Amino acid sequence: MKVDIIISADDIKQEKIEGRSVLVIDMLRATSVITTAMMNGCKAVIPVLTVERALEIAGGNREAYILGGERRALRIEGFDCSNSPLEYTPEVVRGKTLIMTTTNGTRAIDGCRKAENILIGCMLNALSAAKKLVDLGKDIVIVNAGTYGQFSMDDFICSGYIIECLKEITEVELSDIAWTSNQIYNSHPDIISFIRYARHYNVIKNLGLEEDLEYCIRKDITDMVPVFNGENIE
């Protein structure tokens, strides 16, 4: 089973993902939000690219929908929730559909539509995501959302941990970049000693969101692995 990594939403090439199982990671924080919301009883997540599209889908039916997401790491005016996974409690999300737009994560998900399978991953569900990828039996591409089209250290080390999980389950053939990611994880298994140097980590920290950071580096707290079917994440 071959494993490769794409380092940002801007670097997604269709020939790299067609016929393969893709795992989209935006550890800080979109895929952590999606995983947490689904874990806590959210009915589905609709990822969209623009604020306007999110408002259009929600219309006047705000009982059925939650609007969530961010621009430049901050809550969007008029939205119910920001991009903090800690806001998506069972009381908020149970039985509702989350319409979500973020700077990086939802762009990465949208860019992977031609993949054979599209899974949503983060530290919170890494081992379960690895198991599901193996069960699907296809070569794997881990897509890092990145930050504003650039490489992101946090997504990269998360990929390395997921690769470590894959290695515990089956034999894998790693691309150079996948091997490098795994080596970085094995040198920093606590995660924080590496990502504390990341630009996006420090943006979130400077906004006073340390609890988000502490939550998003937790390993394997759920077996929920959301799947994108081209329209909804369920």
The pLDDT tens digits for 127-168 are 999 999 999 999 999 999 999 999 999 999 999 999 999 999
The alpha carbons of the chain give a radius of gyration, in whole angstroms, of 16
Is residue 233 situated within a structural domain?
no
Is residue 223 situated within a structural domain?
no
- Starting at the edge strand found earlier in the chain, the sheet holding 97-101 runs 44-47, 97-101, 65-71, 74-75
The pLDDT tens digits for 86-112 are 999 999 999 999 999 999 999 999 999
Is residue 19 situated within a structural domain?
yes
Mean pLDDT computed over every residue of the chain: 97
Plot region of 193 (φ>0 → left; ψ -120 to 50 → alpha; else → beta): alpha
Q: Residue 177 belongs to a domain with what CATH number?
A: 3.90.1560.10
What is the domain range of residue 70? 2-216
Is residue 194 situated within a structural domain?
yes
Is residue 151 situated within a structural domain?
yes
Is residue 118 situated within a structural domain?
yes
- Integer Cα distance of 55 and 48 in angstroms: 10
- Integer Cα distance of 5 and 180 in angstroms: 10
- Integer Cα distance of 232 and 67 in angstroms: 14
Domain count, the chain: 1
pTM exceeds 0.95 for this model: yes
- Integer Cα distance of 210 and 109 in angstroms: 26
